[in-house]
């Protein structure tokens, strides 16, 4: 069983729409949750981090965490073509050091 | 200041050869991480340094892989007797103090191709 699972996509949304990206994880003791954006051929860059249940908003981005369901999501409001990238969900497990990534969801925002 | 840098950006080698990949973390960052990313996959954790010591090397796939950070700054990932399956992008990341709440900043990666 994969530790961090994401729908690989591709996910396609029109410009201005809300993009919803989902992630589940297997280690119930996981402590920290991250969303990274990775453009093709580039390295991952951090978008959001979340540590406690509920929602966390930063500009057009909202991260949602539900530890009971072992589920974390990322909403992108008013999607722009420049948001087109692969979005990686990452989890630091109960050991506190190792960050485990999902395979990523490829998002395309169409003008 | 400067971000994480990695050299070389690309490395092509032949099966069975030895390679070294270098990572220069953000100045002052005590934690350093190595990951490997294959095409279509997320980064896979290899090893984590806190200062000069390897705090967690549980992700190293086998004893052909070894990493050092002798002075607590620059790190070198060493791969012996390379195999075609080692072909991937090797990413380095650093963070200020390490631990579960600290942001990791990634370098541009080294693309390793084993022929």
Measure the N-to-C terminal CA separation of chain A; round to a whole number of Å.
37
pLDDT at A9 (0 to 100) = 82
Q: Residue A64: what are its φ and ψ, rounded to 5°?
A: -125, 135
Give contacts of B104 with chain A, Cβ < 8 Å: 46, 99
Express each pLDDT in B36-90 by its tens digit. 999 989 999 999 999 999 888 999 999 999 999 999 999 999 999 999 999 999 9
- Does residue B100 have a pLDDT over 90? no
Give contacts of B108 with chain A, Cβ < 8 Å: 42-43
Token pair listed for B38: 């294959």
Q: Among A45, A97, A101, whose Cβ lies nearest the Cβ of B43?
A: A101
pLDDT at A97 (0 to 100) = 73
Task: Tell how far CA A25 is from the center of its chain.
Answer: 12
pLDDT at A8 (0 to 100) = 80
What is the least distance, in Å, from the CA of B8 to any CA of chain A? 15
Mean pLDDT, to the nearest integer, of A48-72? 96
Confidence of residue A2 (pLDDT cuts 50, 70, 90): low
Confidence of residue A1 (pLDDT cuts 50, 70, 90): low
Express each pLDDT in A73-103 by its tens digit. 999 999 999 999 999 999 998 777 778 999 9
Determine contact, residues A33/A47, Cβ cutoff 8 Å.
no
CA distances, B45 to each of A54, A78, B64 (Å): 27, 33, 16
pLDDT at B101 (0 to 100) = 80
Short-list A74, A33, A36, A37, CA closest to A52: A33
What is the least distance, in Å, from the CA of A52 to any CA of chain B? 11
CA distances, B59 to each of A22, B30, B42 (Å): 25, 19, 14
Determine contact, residues B32/B69, Cβ cutoff 8 Å.
yes
Within 13 Å of residue A32, how many CA atoms lie on the same side as its CB?
17
- Residue A99 and residue B104: Cβ atoms within 8 Å? yes
Mean pLDDT, to the nearest integer, of B2-11? 95
Share of chain B above pLDDT 70, in %: 99
pLDDT at B98 (0 to 100) = 84
Express each pLDDT in A6-56 by its tens digit. 988 899 999 999 999 999 999 998 989 999 999 999 999 999 999 999 999
pLDDT at B90 (0 to 100) = 98
């Amino acid at each position: 069983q994969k530790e961090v699972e994401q729908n690989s996509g591709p996910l396609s949304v029109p410009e201005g729409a809300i993009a919803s990206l989902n992630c589940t994880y297997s280690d119930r003791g996981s402590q920290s949750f991250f969303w990274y954006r990775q453009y093709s051929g580039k390295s991952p860059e951090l978008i959001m981090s979340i540590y406690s249940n509920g929602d966390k908003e930063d500009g057009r981005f909202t991260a949602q965490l539900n530890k009971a369901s072992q589920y974390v999501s990322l909403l992108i409001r008013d999607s722009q073509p420049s948001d087109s990238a692969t979005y990686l969900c990452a989890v630091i497990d109960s050991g506190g050091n190792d960050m485990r990534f999902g395979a990523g969801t490829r998002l395309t925002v169409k003008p | 200041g400067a971000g994480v840098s990695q050299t070389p950006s690309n490395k092509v080698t032949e099966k069975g050869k030895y390679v070294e990949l270098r990572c220069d973390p953000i100045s002052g960052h005590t934690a350093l991480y190595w990951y490997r990313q294959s095409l279509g996959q997320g980064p896979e954790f290899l090893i984590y340094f806190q200062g000069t010591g390897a705090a967690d090397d549980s992700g190293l796939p086998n004893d052909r892989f070894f990493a050092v950070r002798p002075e607590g700054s620059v790190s070198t990932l060493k791969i012996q007797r390379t195999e075609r399956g080692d072909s991937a992008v090797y990413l380095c990341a650093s963070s200020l103090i390490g631990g579960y709440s600290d942001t990791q900043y990634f370098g541009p990666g080294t693309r390793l191709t084993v022929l």
